């Protein structure tokens, strides 16, 4: 009987893993959650802005734009209005956004969007839909507005202005993580950042808003990078707990990112 109960319990836990819908949420997003790949792209768009010293408002505009244009996915096709449109922002090589290869590079595409945005006088005070339209020149300029709650919420959290603002519900990792790979991805997104990989842990020495930006970038990328825990500023996000951010001990002035050491059995 005991063996049978254990077998039943294990079977229930295994089935419960498959029932988890892997999604990422942000405080104040108005119920518009993101799939894990969308969240990772949102984190990249936000990190590039942090790297460039741009305000969270720029990120809100960029996220609303990308959600409308590509559903925050790096798609390799256009539509009837723009047959050659590609990438996160559906940028058209024929309109000077770069080569097809360049606009399919999320880093190039994001920087190209911000390059155009910052040339708009007073873009910070414009309505999001108007600022987005001046960059994109869409046939449906009003469509960006529907994504404003999501864009504002994720922008505020991923730039570090809303601590504990991003949470992802994930299954157990099915592959081991690589702290060195996390470091490479982090540096590609944020630029020069004091980050040291040792074993399963990446330690990033940052403070304030940037610390929370890095920490929530790690949470948004936890699916792809097999991240199991993120600690920052007396708080911890743990993948298996699925309870969001919780109080935890840890040194000040750094973010600690831990990856899985082996595939889940």
- Burial of residue 187 (CB within 10 Å: 0-12, 13-18, 19+) is middle
Domain end position, chosen among 158, 182, 203: 158
Q: Is 19 domain-assigned?
A: no
Is there a single domain that holds both residue 39 and residue 141?
A: yes
Please, which residues have CB within 8 angstroms of residue 48's CB and are 6 or more apart in sequence?
107, 110, 111, 114, 189
Tally of structural domains, the chain: 2
Reduced to 3 states, what is the DSSP secondary structure of residue 192? coil
Write down the mean pLDDT value for the chain. Answer: 90
Residue 137's pLDDT is 80
Do residues 255 and 248 make contact, with C-beta atoms less than 8 angstroms apart?
Answer: no
- The pLDDT tens digits for 137-151 are 876 667 888 999 999
Q: pLDDT band for 96, please (50, 70, 90 cuts).
A: confident
Do 130 and 231 belong together in one domain?
no
In a domain, 206, yes or no: yes
Dump pLDDT digits (tens) for 237-262.
999 888 899 999 888 899 999 999 97
Tokens representing residue 40 in the block: 């990772």
The predicted pLDDT at position 13 comes to 47
**Span 22-61, pLDDT tens digits:** 999 999 887 789 999 999 999 999 999 999 999 999 999 9
Q: Do residues 121 and 60 share a domain?
A: yes
Mean pLDDT of 200-211: 96
Is residue 77 domain-resident? yes
Q: Are residues 122 and 92 in the same domain?
A: yes
In a domain, 42, yes or no: yes
Q: Are residues 124 and 39 in the same domain?
A: yes
> Can you tell me the mean pLDDT for 88-112?
94
Query: 116 and 51, same structural domain?
Result: yes
Query: 3-class DSSP state for residue 49?
Result: helix
Mean pLDDT to the nearest integer, 193-208: 95
The pLDDT, as a whole number, for residue 21 is 87
pLDDT of residue 56: 97
One domain, residues 57 and 134? yes
Q: The domain containing residue 139 runs over which residues? A: 26-158
Q: pLDDT per residue over 73-87, tens digit each? A: 999 887 756 778 889
pTM: 0.90
Residues 188, 148 share a domain: no
Last residue of a domain, one of 125, 158, 191: 158
**pLDDT of res. 140:** 66
In this predicted structure, what is the pLDDT of residue 10? 44
Residue 265 domain flag: no
Q: Is residue 73 in some structural domain?
A: yes
Q: Is the pLDDT of residue 234 over 60?
A: yes
Of 131, 158, 185, which closes a domain?
A: 158
141 and 65 belong to one structural domain: yes
- Asked if 86 and 80 touch (Cβ cutoff 8 Å), the reply is no
Residue 136 in any domain: the answer is: yes
Question: How many degrees, rounded to 5, is the angle at CA 113 between CA 205 and CA 152?
Answer: 65
Is 2 part of any domain?
Answer: no
């Amino acid at each position: 009987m005991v063996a049978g109960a254990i077998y039943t319990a294990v079977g229930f836990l295994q089935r419960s893993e498959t029932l988890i819908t892997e999604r990422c949420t942000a405080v104040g997003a108005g119920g518009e959650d993101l799939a894990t790949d969308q969240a990772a792209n949102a984190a990249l768009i936000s990190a590039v802005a942090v790297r460039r010293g741009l305000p969270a408002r720029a990120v809100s505009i960029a996220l609303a734009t990308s959600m409308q244009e590509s559903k925050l996915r790096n798609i390799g096709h256009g539509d009837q209005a723009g047959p050659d449109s590609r990438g996160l922002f559906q940028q058209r090589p024929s309109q000077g956004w770069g080569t097809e290869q360049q606009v399919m590079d999320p880093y190039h595409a994001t920087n190209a969007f911000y390059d155009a945005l910052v040339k708009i006088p007073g873009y910070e005070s414009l309505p999001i839909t108007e600022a987005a339209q001046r960059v994109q020149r869409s046939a449906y300029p009003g469509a960006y507005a529907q994504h404003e709650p999501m864009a504002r919420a994720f922008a505020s959290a991923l730039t570090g202005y809303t601590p504990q603002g991003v949470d992802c519900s994930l299954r157990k990792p099915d592959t081991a993580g690589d702290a060195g790979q996390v470091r490479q991805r982090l540096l590609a997104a944020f630029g020069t950042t004091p980050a040291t990989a040792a074993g399963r842990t990446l330690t990033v020495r940052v403070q304030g808003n940037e610390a929370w930006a890095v920490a929530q970038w790690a949470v948004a990328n936890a699916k792809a990078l097999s991240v199991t825990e993120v600690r920052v500023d007396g708080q911890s996000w743990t993948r298996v707990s699925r309870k969001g951010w919780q109080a935890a001990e840890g040194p000040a002035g750094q973010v600690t990112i831990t990856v899985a050491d082996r595939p889940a059995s």
